[in-house]
Each structure stands twice: as structure tokens, then as C-alpha cells.
A and B are shown apart, each in its own frame.
Chain A
Amino acid sequence: MVPVEPPSTTSTPDESRSKTRNNDPRLRLNAVGKQYGDFWGVRDVSLDIGPGVLGLLGPNGAGKSTLMRLITTYLAPTEGTISFNETDVVSSPNTLRENVGYLPQDFGVYPDLTAKEFLSYLAAIRGLRRGEAHERIDDLLALTNLQEAKSRRLGSFSGGMRQRVGIAQALLTDPDLLVVDEPTVGLDPAERVRFRNVLSSLGDDRIVILSTHIVSDVEATATDVAVLADGQVRAHTTPEQLLAEVTDCVWEVVVSQDDLQSLKSNYLTSTTTRRSDGVHARIVTEGDPPKNATAVSPTLEEAYLDLLDGSDATTSGENA
């Protein structure tokens, strides 16, 4: 297992891609840290982000939401600088606020308002003109499949429908920087796929930062990947590069139920699937695999687990 080198300086996944067009948005974080009392939520985070979808991965408590809040100016960094299009956003937060769409991980709605009224209110406080706002809101309600429910009070919405309202409000202002924290939580599979497609298309000419636990969402949409652990960036690379780190290291082996525990204790096990001939387990190892193991193509999830060395991040489901 070869861990991806943590970035020593400002991290870019591909230097060639940093040579972008002059009018492309650019977000730079330089040695950013946020301290809560004696605890550092994030520390020494340096990232250079251009157009595309950046998938931000990390275990629970890694500091992903803190980083999102710092980027969107909701929190002020304790140390370091954040600049958007070469303007410091701590001293001039409106430079970023005029260009950001933000879907927080945990947000509320006003239950007495309808979906359309809620979006109209947010459009008003973001400075959208009435005519433009109405058209935009209609488009977004269609995009998020909420047209039929637009006149229902938000208090009666399901969790997934509220999440779609959150997605719609993040896109209200046609932002150059879209920051979405766990956006697919609560969405049904069809809506999840739809939203992933939306993110992919939005990433063509703007910065999209997608924070999630769901590695498959990142695999499907991200052009770059950053892995955060213990408040620090462990890797900032491309999905291809991350996958290349575990090429020839992923194996599938069939074991009995009785031997499964022994296998798990000896190898980093990403998934297990029960079949009639036994349990099919996928393991990640640089050393010798068990006998009868078959080499398989790695997934981004396995590369991610390998990077974190299995500690805290062995969240893969067991497919019964």
C-alpha cells in the first residue's frame, strides 16, 4: 500500500490543469485552520481549486463541514487565508458571497412557507430581480422535480423533498462556486442519479465542491478528490491517480462464514457479499493475498479506505 503523499505546499491535483482561462473562477486556501477552544476543526489546509467537481471525502469528524463553512464565509478562519479570484474573502466576504451557492449539511426551512415562497425569499435577500427570480425558481423547481409540490407548505415536505429544496436554493444565483455538503442524503436512488448528473454538468465551467461520505457519488461526478482526516488534507489528487495507488492490490476471495472474521482481522476488507458458495469478500493488500484470491479492479472506495489505512473508515456495507 502506497499512501498518496500529503501535499507539502498548496495542493493541486494536476499542475497542467491549473493553467486555466483567465475568467475561470479560482479558489485558494493557504494554511487555513479553525480552532474551537483547544480543538482544531481543521488545520494547515492548503488547496488550489479550479473549475470542476472536487469530491471532498473523509470520515466522520474529519473537518469536512468546518471546511465548507470556512469556504462559504459562514466561519472565519483562525489562521491562514482564503482567496476567491485573487480576493481575500475574510476581509472582503461579499466577493465570495455574491458568487457562492451553498447547501449546508444540516439546514432548516420555514415550515409556514411554500417551496416557491421560500425560494422567492432567499432570491430577494440575495439580490435577484423579481422577473429573473421567478423564471429561475420555476426552472429550479422543475430541475428538482418539485413543480407539483411548489404550493405545498414546507412543513409537510418529506426529508428528501426538503433536501431538493436545499439543492434548488443553492443554485438560485447561478453561482461560480457551488458548495454542497452531503447533498444526496435522503434522496431516493433516481433523484440521487439526477443530482449527480446536475453536478457533473455544472462543473464544466465553475467550481463545485462536493462533500460526502458516499464514495460512489464522488466516483460518478468528481474530477478531483481531496481526502480530509483529523482536520488535515491527506490527499488532493484525481480519482484516476487515487485508483492507480491501489492497482494490483485489490482481490476477491470466497470464504466460509466461519472464516470471515479471521479474514477481516488479517486484511483490509472493503465489502462482503453472501452467495450460495460462501461469502465473497473484497480485500485490499499490498502483500500476498490468501490462496484462491482473484485480482479485481479497484474502486474509489477501496482506494479511499486504503489511503486511510482502514482506521475509522471501514464503513462499507455488507451486502446480504
Chain B
Amino acid sequence: MVATMGTFLLFVFGFTLVRGAVTREREMGVGELVATSPISGGRYLVGRWLGYFVLLTLVTILLILATIAAYALHGTGSFDFWALASPFVFLTLPAMALVAAVAILTETVQPLQGTLGSVFYFFAAVAVFTITSLGSGVTYGPTGLAIVRNSMVEAAGADPSVFENRSFAFTGDPGSVTTFTWNGIDWGAPELLSRGPTLAATCLGLLIAVVAFDRFEPSRSILQRIMGRLVGSDESQSEKESPPEQPTPADVKSRDIAEMTLQSVTQHPSRLPDRRMLTAEIRMALRGQQWWWYLGIVVCIGAGLFAPVDTARGLVLPVAWLFGLSVWAGLGVREQRFRTSELVFTTPYPLRQLAAAYIGGVSVAIVSGAGVLIALVLAGKFTTVGAVVIGACFVPALALASGIWLGTSRVFEILFLSLWYLGPMNAVYSLDFMATHPETVAQGTPVWIAVVTVVLVIAAVVGRSREIQQ
């Protein structure tokens, strides 16, 4: 059971744990050293994949040790190490190999390199797990849930078809269930062969990553690289034949310093962010978004206005805020990621830049959900409007606090996606920070969301203050 739950958790969250080494090397300039070394792209990526896989294997070993400790405390019957460890070996480790390969893949395929990769993986992982856990015949799923379930059903002597579309559950009433003896999975050829598709998917993922890998050279598109490989052209030769970069007029132009006069300027710093600063922060936050991102926001605003208000609230708003994720993910980590801390934190009243970034984040949530908010106002649901606004304040606060304190956007990404999946989409009302369900407001969830928001804002301010004057 620990193996099943551990595999599921590592399958969904292990990606966030390991992903980032290739991206870091790209951003920090180490990639140039790799690119100019004799190592091939394939060997480099397989090496990186191995690193990710080893890390996930270490976590798996910790899970095995935890299982043994749990057995020592609460276990019954004779101790059988192989029965405890074998599911980790045959189920968890192949799944981790796939997770590591997909992490590599999303770091090499350009469109997936940022937040989009995290979103893509989260939904793909949840979808794959859901699909492969439905039927007893789907034993080839990456987490192998069906193998464990089938083995238990067999041990219970029950009709397997009764358990179709069923999973595992906890109960607080031990008397409501009957017990049976299960000696673990009997690993035969069908069980072992069922891991084949997962390992094949791992190899395929790595293969695609190797083909897509730009060797830290950003100018060539994936299509150009694939064509180059297909026709077998010598890349280094073609690069040599390309014309050398012409110096721009700016490089060759020379002006006499004596001619230059700099007009004096006066700073007007204030403790609070002004309109100009807010505009600059919002422009900065939105920079780099693709055209389809803006189209998506416009569609969400329109759909929020014209869809039935319950649909707008329960479906359009979650989708709209999913678009905001890529913007919020940059909050709190931008200065560290792009090494601009010394430029930004030595400005007068640097905390107002934090305030401007936060207000910018809230604005993105309000604007993307503007259609829904207007529809709610027109429907007279002012309490819900307030709850949505609290949610709009909560998300950027979470992004800022986690970014500043943890130095990475990945934790925020996985937190947001998990909350988004559990709260708004699966009606866990206590986590429904968007107030997409009427019960959420009735249960008073927005109140604690507001409290958490205040705590997160304070945490962000304290964290940034520490960064400003170390």
C-alpha cells in the first residue's frame, strides 16, 4: 500500500522535485561550457536523466525504509523483506525512470521549458493515473496500481469484475470491513512484462529529448534540427558556412564624448508604488507571453460574461486563472533568476517594487476573471465577488512568499495546480480558493483564505527585507 501511494505521489510530484538542472545550466551560462565540450547531446541528457533517476531512487529507498519501520511498529505476521520491497523495485522505480525522462523532455522541448511544462505534466500525470487505475486489465500503467489491486482481489477470493472502477480508500470504521490475508504480489512474467511499456515510454521520451535538444544554442528551431538529423547534414560545417555576424552600426559608430551632455534628472521616490511603477511591473510580468495567451485571456473574459453564471464561476474562472499561472510563477524569483537583485534592491524604497509586483499579480487575476466578476455583480452575488477577490489576492501572495523564501517557482506551480485540482475542480471546499462552489462561501473558506493571504504577504515582506539588506 505504501508503494502504491508513494508511487502515485512521486509520479505526480517527483517531476517538480527533480526538474531544473538543464534549465539552470541554460540560464546560468554553464550550458555554453557543456556545448563546447566533446560530450554528445545524447550522453549529456542521459547523464542528466541518470541524476534525476538516482535522486528519485533515493527517495524510493527512504520509502522502503519507512515501510520497514512502519512494519516494525504496527506490522503483523512474519517479516518478508522482499514482499515489502518488491513493489518499490518493480512498480516505483520504472515509474521514476519515466518521470525523470519526462522532466528531461520538458527541459529540452522549447515550448515546455517554462511553467507550461509543469502544467502539461501535472494534467498528463493525473490523466494517466486516472485512466490506468480504472480497469483491472490495465496493468501496464506506469504506476502499476492495477497489479496491486488484482493481487489483493485474488487474495480476497473475490470476483475481479466487482472491483472495476474501484480504488483504495480509508475508513474510520474498522468494523465495517472484513479482513483477508495478502502475502504480497506474486511476481510472474505478466506482472514483470507489464513494466515494459513504461520503460519503453522512458526510452521514447529520452529519444525525443535528444532529438529536440538544442545544445544550449537558442537560435535554431526544433524543425531545423530534426531536418538536419534526417538529411544527415554536418551541423558544425553549416554553422561555419553561415555568414559572420555583422557589427551593428552601434558597434562601429563612434561619437565624441565631448559632444555628449546628459540632462540632469531628479528622482521622485515614494514609499508607495505609483502608477508608472505599477505599469512597469505589469508590463514586465506580461513580457514574453505568446499571442495565444492573450487570446485565451480575452476568450475567458468573453465566456465569463456570456456563459450562465454558475458555469462561468465553476468552469471559466478556473480556466482563466490557469492562464495566470505563468505570470504568477515569476513573482518573487525574477530578480534571483535573472541576477538583477543588485540593480533592483539598491533602489530607493525597494519594498515598493515588491508591492507593485504583488498588485500586478492581483491585477492579472482580476482582469482574467473580469468577465466572471462582472457576471456575478450583475447577478447580485456580491459575497461571491468578495470571495473571488480574496482568491485573487491569495494566489500572487502564495507565489511571492514561496518564490522569495524558496528561490524557485516550481513549488508554487505544484502547490497552485494541486489546490486548483482539489479545490475548484474536485469540490474540496476547504481548498476552493476561487469560491467556484456555493458551498465554499457557505462554509466560510474565504475567511481563512484571507487570513492565509495576510500571513503570506507578511512572509513575503519579511523575506524580501532579508534579501534587501543581507
Contacts and interface: CB of A to CB of B under 8 A. Distances in A.
Nearest to B349: A94
Contacts of A127: 267-270, 347-348
A75 B469 contact: yes
A153 to B, nearest CB: 10
A145 interface: yes
A147 B356 CA distance: 29
B263 A104 contact: no
Interface residues of B, number: 47
B360 to A, nearest CB: 12
A45 interface: no
B338 A102 contact: no
B246 to A, nearest CB: 12
B347 A106 contact: no
A129 B268 contact: yes
B347 A126 contact: yes
A130 B269 CA distance: 13
Contacts of A107: 339-340, 342-343
A117 B287 CA distance: 10
B314 to A, nearest CB: 34
B249 A169 contact: no
Interface string B262-305: 11111111100000110110011001100000000000000000
Contacts of B276: 124, 129-130
Given A113-B284, A145-B253, A125 B347 contact: yes
B36 interface: no
Contact of B339 (A94, A108, A139): A108
Contacts of B340: 107-110
Nearest to B266: A132
B262 A74 contact: no
21 contacts: A74-B345, A74-B469, A76-B470, A94-B348, A97-B350, A98-B267, A98-B348, A102-B346, A104-B343, A107-B340, A122-B344, A125-B280, A125-B347, A125-B356, A128-B268, A130-B276, A145-B253, A145-B254, A145-B255, A155-B218, A197-B257
B76 interface: no
B231 interface: no
Interface string A109-152: 11111000100111011111110110110011011011111000
A320 interface: no
**Interface of B (DSSP majority class):** loop
Interface string B348-387: 1110110010000000000000000000000000000000
Contacts of A97: 346-350
Of the listed residues B218, B255, B288, B338, the one surrounded by the most CB atoms of chain A closer than 10 A to its CB is B338
A247 interface: no
B257 A98 contact: no
A174 B390 CA distance: 42
Nearest to A102: B346
Nearest to A131: B265
Determine the interface band of chain A, counting residues with CB < 8 A from chain B: 35 or more
Contact of B260 (A75, A121, A139, A148): A139
B159 interface: no
A173 B262 contact: no
A176 to B, nearest CB: 11
Interface in B181-227: 218
Contact of B346 (A73, A117, A139, A190): A73
A201 interface: yes
A161 B248 CA distance: 11
Interface of B: 218, 248-251, 253-255, 257, 260-270, 276-277, 279-280, 283-284, 287-288, 334, 338-350, 352-353, 356, 469-470
A161 B265 CA distance: 24
Contact of B344 (A125, A149, A155): A125
Contacts of B249: 148
A148 B247 CA distance: 11
Contacts of A132: 263, 265-266
Contacts of A190: 254
A147 B254 CA distance: 12
Given A139-B263, A143-B260, A112 B288 contact: yes
A100 interface: yes
A264 interface: no
Given A110-B338, A126-B269, A132-B266, 13 more contacts: A73-B346, A102-B342, A102-B343, A107-B339, A121-B284, A126-B347, A127-B347, A128-B265, A130-B276, A132-B265, A143-B257, A143-B262, A161-B250
Contacts of A201: 257
Contacts of A117: 283, 287
Nearest to A98: B348
Contacts of A102: 342-343, 346
A125 B250 CA distance: 27
B469 A109 contact: no
Contacts of B262: 136, 139-140, 143, 171, 174
Contacts of A163: none
Contact of B265 (A75, A94, A174): A174
Interface in A84-111: 93-94, 97-98, 100, 102, 104, 106-111
B348 A126 contact: yes
